């Protein structure tokens, strides 16, 4: 499970960096639709990878909860954190789509 946690940390860092790049790009007035589309694809790919790793980790944690080696509260916290990242993806997707359409 430690390996999955390290993978998740890396995936979260890459996703957060992609979000930062989008914020920087949206603050500029010279972004193009091509660049916006490229950033959207990039963040979607990073979010998909993060979701995949989160799912693997959640499955491993479910096993630990069922055997009593992990507390239910800790498991719930992990689920909440994973959902926060997915919500962040939706937010950034909407931001970019609004810019593409507006």
Rounded to an integer, what distance in angstroms lies between the CA atom of residue 86 and that of residue 58? 14
- Looking at 7-11, 23-27, 79-83, which range is the least confident one? 23-27
In the chain, % of residues over pLDDT 90:
82
- The whole-number average pLDDT for the span 61-89 is 95
What does the pLDDT read at residue 61? 96
Q: What is the CATH number of the domain that holds 86?
A: 1.10.132
Number of structural domains in the chain: 1
Residue 65 has pLDDT above 90, yes or no: yes
Phi, psi at 30, each rounded to 5°? -115, 30
CA 18 vs CA 11, 41, 73: distances in Å: 11, 10, 30
What does the pLDDT read at residue 67? 95
Domain that holds residue 72: 2-101
Task: Identify the band that residue 29 occupies on the pLDDT scale cut at 50, 70 and 90.
Answer: confident
Q: Which residues contact 85 (CB under 8 A, 6 or more apart)?
A: 12, 15, 47, 50, 54
What does the pLDDT read at residue 40? 93
Whole-number mean pLDDT of the chain? 93
What does the pLDDT read at residue 31? 80
């Amino acid at each position: 499970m430690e390996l999955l946690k390290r993978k998740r940390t890396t995936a979260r860092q890459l996703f957060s960096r992609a979000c930062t790049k989008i914020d920087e790009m949206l603050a500029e007035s010279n972004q193009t639709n091509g660049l916006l589309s490229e950033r959207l694809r990039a963040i979607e790919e990073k979010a998909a990878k993060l979701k995949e790793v989160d799912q693997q980790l959640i499955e491993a944690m479910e096993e630990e909860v069922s055997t009593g080696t992990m507390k239910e509260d800790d498991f719930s916290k992990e689920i909440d954190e994973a959902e926060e990242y997915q919500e962040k993806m939706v937010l950034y997707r909407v931001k970019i789509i609004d810019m593409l359409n507006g």
